[in-house]
């Protein structure tokens, strides 16, 4: 007789079921951002569980960005900030050992389209943010860590200026992975000035509301990014975390 293939299933903790039940109501639209949840004691009564169990479920909801506290007691339904979603997605990408080639291919598809959309929708306030970003990079050009951070911020600002939340959410986890890639390239090649010049060119085209040229320049910028990585001699199909170790 064959040995047992499957292990017995463990039932989910009750607090997880509390989380699942409230999350389901939010995703279904029965609860929307700004709605107040019942107090913990009332939720415990409705679910038929201890208050401590409800509290654990609420903590999961708060960690997920679905619920926040106003003051010390009121529980309000909230929209998760895109950075919360992005950081979780980035961790997942890292765990799957994403390579530079995969990162670059996705960026080559999304970044030019995003720049094109931003050129038609960018506001004066968003242009001011990009200008401040460029000025900060210029003043801190010798600080590689800071340049990498500002590079990521620049691309995030362009994504926000696209006015397309799907593009913004899709690009955010990818842009966070630029950090290890940038830490591979810049210490070896010292190409901060080249990055800054590209950002200035893209900014000028966004300011001129020129979507065609903005798309072309962003494509050129992404192609240059790949060339820089290739010049480091690190295999493009090596997972980024391992590539950083090799560079060190």
Question: What are the tens digits of pLDDT across the range 128-144?
Answer: 999 999 999 999 999 98
Kindly state whether residues 125 and 216 are assigned to the same domain. yes
Kindly state whether residues 139 and 217 are assigned to the same domain. yes
Q: In CATH, what number is assigned to the domain containing residue 157?
A: 1.20.120.530
Q: Which domain holds residue 57?
A: 14-77
For residue 218, pLDDT over 90 is answered with yes
Kindly state whether residues 138 and 120 are assigned to the same domain. yes
Q: For 36-77, how does the pLDDT look when each residue is reduced to its tens digit (9 = 90+)?
A: 999 889 999 999 999 999 999 898 888 877 888 876 678 888
Q: In CATH, what number is assigned to the domain containing residue 20?
A: 1.10.10.10
Q: Would residue 144 count as lying in a domain?
A: yes
Kindly state whether residues 224 and 102 are assigned to the same domain. yes
Q: What is the pLDDT of residue 178?
A: 73
Q: What is the pLDDT of residue 96?
A: 60
What b-and-e string marks burial along 137-160, b requiring 16 or more CB atoms within 10 Å of the CB?
beeebeebeebbbbbbbbbbbbbb
Q: What is the pLDDT of residue 190?
A: 87
- Confirm whether pTM is higher than 0.85: no
Average pLDDT value over all residues in the chain: 83
Q: Would residue 71 count as lying in a domain?
A: yes
Q: What is the pLDDT of residue 122?
A: 97
Q: What is the pLDDT of residue 80?
A: 65
Q: For 165-204, how does the pLDDT look when each residue is reduced to its tens digit (9 = 90+)?
A: 899 888 877 776 677 777 778 888 888 999 999 999 999 9
10 Å CB burial of residue 192 (0-12, 13-18, 19+) is buried
For residue 91, pLDDT over 60 is answered with no
Is residue 176 within 8 Å of 156, Cβ to Cβ? Answer: no
Higher pLDDT, 150 or 90: 150
Q: Would residue 6 count as lying in a domain?
A: no
Q: Would residue 68 count as lying in a domain?
A: yes
Instruction: Among 62, 77, 92, give the residue marking a domain's end.
Output: 77
Higher pLDDT, 160 or 188: 160
- The number of domains in the chain is 2
Kindly state whether residues 206 and 89 are assigned to the same domain. yes
Kindly state whether residues 186 and 226 are assigned to the same domain. yes
Instruction: Among 77, 96, 122, give the residue marking a domain's end.
Output: 77
Q: Would residue 35 count as lying in a domain?
A: yes
Kindly state whether residues 32 and 154 are assigned to the same domain. no
């Amino acid at each position: 007789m064959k040995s047992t293939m499957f292990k017995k299933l463990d039932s989910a903790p009750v607090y997880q079921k509390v989380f699942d039940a409230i999350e389901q109501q939010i995703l279904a639209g029965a609860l929307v951002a700004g709605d107040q949840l019942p107090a913990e004691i009332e939720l415990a009564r409705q679910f038929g569980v201890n208050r401590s169990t409800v509290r654990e479920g609420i903590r999961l909801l708060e960690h997920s960005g679905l619920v926040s506290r106003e003051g010390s007691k009121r529980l309000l339904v909230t929209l998760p900030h895109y950075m919360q979603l992005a950081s979780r997605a980035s961790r997942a990408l890292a765990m799957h050992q994403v390579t530079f080639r995969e990162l670059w291919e996705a960026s080559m598809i999304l970044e030019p389209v995003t720049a094109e959309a931003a050129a038609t929708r960018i506001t004066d306030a968003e242009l001011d943010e990009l200008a401040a970003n460029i000025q900060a990079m210029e003043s801190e050009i010798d600080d590689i860590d800071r340049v990498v951070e500002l590079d990521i911020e620049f691309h995030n600002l362009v994504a926000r200026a696209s006015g397309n939340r799907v593009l913004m959410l899709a690009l955010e986890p990818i842009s966070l992975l630029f950090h290890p890639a940038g830490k591979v390239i810049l210490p070896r090649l010292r190409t901060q000035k080249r990055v800054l010049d590209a950002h200035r060119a893209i900014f000028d085209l966004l300011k001129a509301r020129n979507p065609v040229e903005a798309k072309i320049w962003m494509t050129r910028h992404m192609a240059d990014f790949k060339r820089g990585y290739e010049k480091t001699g690190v295999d493009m199909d090596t997972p980024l975390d391992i590539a950083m170790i090799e560079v060190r």
